Amino acid sequence: MQAIKTVAEYMAEGRSPEILFWVGCAGSFDERAQKVTKAFAKILQHCNIDFAILGAEESCTGDPAKRAGNEFLFQMQAANNIAVLNAYEIKKIVTACPHCFNNIKNEYPQLGGTYEVIHHTQLLQKLIDNGKLKFEGGSFKGKKITYHDSCYLGRANDEYTAPRRVLEALDSELVEMKRCKKNGLCCGAGGAQMFKEAEPGDKEINVERSEEALSTGAEIIALNCPFCMTMIRDGVKHANREDDVQVLDIAELIAQAGDL
Whether domain 7-124 has CATH 3.30.300.180: no
The answer to whether residue 1 scores a pLDDT higher than 80 is no
What percentage of the chain exceeds 90 in pLDDT? 86
Domain ranges of the chain: 7-124, 136-257
Fold of 136-257: Rossmann fold (3.40.50)
**Residues 117-167: pLDDT tens digits?**
999 999 999 999 999 998 876 778 889 999 999 999 999 999 999 999 999
Within 13 A of 55's CA, how many CA atoms are on the CB side? Answer: 10
Long-range contacts of 173-177 (CB under 8 A, 24+ apart): 173/142, 173/143, 173/144, 173/145, 174/145, 174/146, 174/147, 175/144, 175/145, 175/146, 175/216, 175/217, 175/218, 176/146, 176/147, 176/216, 177/146, 177/148, 177/212, 177/213, 177/215, 177/216
**Residues 76-133: pLDDT tens digits?**
999 999 999 999 999 999 999 999 999 999 999 999 999 999 999 999 999 999 999 9
Q: Do domains 7-124 and 136-257 have the same CATH topology?
A: yes
Q: How many CB atoms lie within 10 A of CB 197?
A: 5
